[in-house]
Amino acid sequence: MKRPLLATLLCCGLLAAVPAMADECTADDAMAKGAELADTLNRVAYGDAEMLQRINERLIELQVEDPTRSGHSACEAYERITKEVEKIEAEATADTSN
């Protein structure tokens, strides 16, 4: 169950970002950013269904808040998602240390 959610997150990020790919973000750059996002997701939430759910909910909120963001490249989209995942990780760490 955990793997399909992770795959869904990655696919959603890819599908949302592909139309916005700009010249400064090559396909190789986008692939590297996607791999970085996958590594971040694995580090932060692998085996933690609660954390995966929290990330999934936040990414859905981001899409609702700003679904198109046509001014960004695929690389920027991956970076945005990676930063959100790291922010959620920091919040979770702060919650557990209190």
**Tell me: the pLDDT tens digits for 15-69?**
454 444 445 889 999 999 999 999 999 999 988 999 999 999 988 888 787 665 5
4: left (phi over 0), alpha (psi -120 to 50) or beta: alpha
Confidence band (pLDDT; 50, 70, 90) for 93?
A: confident
Quick one: pLDDT at residue 20?
43
Whether the CB-CB separation of 10 and 34 falls below 8 Å is answered with yes
Global pTM? 0.68
The more confidently predicted of residues 6 and 91 is 91
- C-beta neighbour count of 90 within 10 angstroms: 11
Quick one: pLDDT at residue 65?
76
